[in-house]
Amino acid sequence: MFRNLTPVVRAILYTNFIVYGLQWLTNDQLLDAFALWPVGEVGCPDCHPFEPWQLITYAFLHGGIWHLAGNMFALYIFGPDAERVLGARRFTLYYFACVVGAALTQLWVAHSIYPEPYATLGASGGIFGILLFYGMTFPHRQVLLIFPPIPMPAWLFVTLYGILELSMGVFGSSQGVAHFAHLGGMATGYVLIRYWRSRSPSRRG
């Protein structure tokens, strides 16, 4: 089952499961210092200060076993192919750039739109960046949804998922889900992909 795993994907998977175990053992006290908290919030007794390391550490925390399982399943399915194409070093850079891009997007949106501050956690920003890379690199590969079980090409799956996230973010569906962080991860990934492709030597026949 795990023979398909590449080194960086394996390390991210193991780290997320270990950190979730620590969350459970400490009764989620890790969230105080390592979840992504809004910048400069005052008058919020349940809030904790923003710290720069939270731009990365929030991606190793999860809000329950199903939250963790969903993100890690997507990483397991789509991550290895992305790492094989990019290589370990560039894949690591890509993943954490998407994580940070998602965090910055969430901080901006939370400050501009949501009246009540709250902490953000989860690897979804990096996962959505990987989904975008997969859809752009393997556009015609078939992806079979779990529910409903409908096969579709990867480019269509990623496009529809992005549209769904945008609509739910704009119209406030699925409260408690950082839809704009997901979109921020995808946007960051797109910028990096376009940058790398622009620097690749052109091929002439």
The pLDDT tens digits for 130-161 are 999 999 999 999 988 776 788 899 999 999 88
Residue 107 or residue 115, greater confidence: 107
Q: Which domains does the chain have, with CATH numbers?
A: 7-199 (1.20.1540.10)
Q: Which residues of 3-15 are buried (b: 16+ CB within 10 A; e: fewer)?
A: eebbebbbebbee
From 2-16, 44-58, 144-158, 172-186, the region with the lowest mean pLDDT: 172-186
Q: How many angstroms separate the CA atoms of 143 and 194, rounded?
A: 24
Q: Could you say which DSSP state residue 134 is in?
A: H
| Contacts of 76 by beta carbon, 8 Å cutoff, 6+ apart | 4, 5, 9, 13
Contact criterion met (CB below 8 Å) for 187 and 127: no
| Mean of the per-residue pLDDT values of the chain | 87
Region 34-50: mean pLDDT is 76
Region 73-93: mean pLDDT is 96
Region 105-121: mean pLDDT is 77
Residue 120 or residue 44, greater confidence: 120
Q: How many angstroms separate the CA atoms of 3 and 47, rounded?
A: 42
Q: Return the closest-CA partner of residue 121 out of 14, 27, 35.
A: 35
Q: Residue 45's pLDDT band (boundaries 50, 70, 90)?
A: low
3-state secondary structure 18-55: HHHHHHHHCCCCHHHHHCECCCCCCCCCCCCCCCCCHH
Q: How many angstroms separate the CA atoms of 147 and 70, rounded?
A: 13
What is the per-residue pLDDT for 88? 96
Q: Residue 41's pLDDT band (boundaries 50, 70, 90)?
A: low
Region 13-37: mean pLDDT is 93
